């Protein structure tokens, strides 16, 4: 089951725009200070790098992901999540526009 | 002065994606039930239609706007706002990626 909404949060109104707009996200702060982002990745093939570890919770859409150091691609869709280690990277091929929540740490 | 953040809100995690991703926004609900959206418009020339009246508060970026029925284009940038009547439309040419809050009603 996906998280349809995040309640009692503060949204930063300036977005994060990556890869010429192929990825657009807004930063959200929870009451306890936890930072997340809600975003969209348009159909594309991109390489993301991570600082903190991330869990990408897919709200809708479909993609293939290959974590750094792995040979295999794994397909994910809305309703699923995948974890990425910190100080790492992943290739992502978005097949249908992704709507996601990025959970850090 | 622009609104850097919206506090005590609920964010819908599935985004609104318009014009093949040239415009991406997330719906935000305030504690009193008021609905707003926070979004981005990438460099483009688009025609938006309105249901409810809107105030577009520009957080960052630059655009030219022509309201329906007007002949003149007016340029706006981050820190400025413009109003659009309900059941109307506006042409918008985004020159530098726009970050905005759309206030309805």
Nearest residue to B101 (alpha-carbon basis) of B19, B47, B36, B51: B36
Q: How many other CB atoms sit within 10 Å of the CB of residue A53?
A: 14
Please indicate, yes or no, if residue A5 is contained in any of the structural domains: no
Which residues of chain B make contact with A2, given a CB cutoff of 8 A? 13
Q: Do B13 and A3 touch (CB under 8 A)?
A: yes
Confidence of residue A7 (pLDDT cuts 50, 70, 90): very high
If 0-12 CB within 10 Å is exposed, 13-18 middle and 19+ buried, where does residue B99 land? buried
Geometric angle at alpha carbon A13, from B82 and B55, rounded to 5°: 20
Which residue among B11, B20, B39 sits closest to A6, beta carbon to beta carbon?
B11
Q: Which two tokens stand for residue A92?
A: 């992502």
**pLDDT, tens digit, 9 for 90 and up, residues B10-56:** 999 999 999 999 999 999 999 999 999 999 999 999 999 999 999 99
Domain count of the fold of chain B: 1
Please indicate, yes or no, if residue A2 is contained in any of the structural domains: no
Residue B50 at interface with chain A, using a CB cutoff of 8 Å: no
**pLDDT, tens digit, 9 for 90 and up, residues A52-73:** 999 999 999 999 999 999 999 9
Nearest residue to B80 (alpha-carbon basis) of B54, B104, B61: B61
The reply to whether ipTM tops 0.90 is yes
Q: Which domain holds residue B62?
A: 9-104
Which residue among B9, B42, B60 sits closest to A11, beta carbon to beta carbon?
B9
Nearest residue to B26 (alpha-carbon basis) of A18, A102, A26, A103: A26
Q: Which two tokens stand for residue B55?
A: 């105030």
Nearest residue to B61 (alpha-carbon basis) of B96, B23, B92, B37: B96
Please indicate, yes or no, if residue B2 is contained in any of the structural domains: no
**pLDDT, tens digit, 9 for 90 and up, residues B51-76:** 999 999 999 999 999 999 999 999 99
Please indicate, yes or no, if residue A72 is contained in any of the structural domains: yes
Please indicate, yes or no, if residue A54 is contained in any of the structural domains: yes
The CATH code of the domain that includes A28 is 2.60.120.10
Residues 6+ apart with CB under 8 A from B70: none
Residue with tokens 């600082």: A51
What is the residue-averaged pLDDT of chain A? 97
Q: Do B97 and A26 touch (CB under 8 A)?
A: no
Please indicate, yes or no, if residue B18 is contained in any of the structural domains: yes
Nearest residue to A26 (alpha-carbon basis) of B37, B97, B43, B2: B37
Q: Do B38 and A24 touch (CB under 8 A)?
A: no
Please indicate, yes or no, if residue B67 is contained in any of the structural domains: yes
Please indicate, yes or no, if residue B49 is contained in any of the structural domains: yes
Which residue among A10, A13, A99 sits closest to B101, beta carbon to beta carbon?
A13
Confidence of residue A105 (pLDDT cuts 50, 70, 90): confident
What are the C-alpha distances in Å from A77 to residues A47, A70, A96, B71? 18, 20, 9, 46
Distance of alpha carbon A25 from alpha carbon A88, whole angstroms: 20
């Amino acid at each position: 089951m996906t998280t349809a909404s995040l309640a009692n949060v503060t949204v930063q109104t300036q977005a994060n725009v990556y890869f010429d707009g192929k990825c657009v996200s807004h930063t959200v702060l929870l009451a306890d200070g936890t930072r997340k982002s809600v975003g969209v990745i348009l159909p594309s093939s991109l390489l993301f790098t991570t600082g903190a570890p991330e869990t990408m919770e897919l709200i809708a859409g479909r993609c293939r992901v290959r974590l750094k150091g792995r040979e295999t691609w794994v397909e994910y869709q809305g309703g699923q999540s995948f974890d990425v280690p910190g100080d790492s990277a992943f290739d992502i091929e978005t097949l249908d526009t992704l709507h996601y929540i990025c959970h850090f740490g």
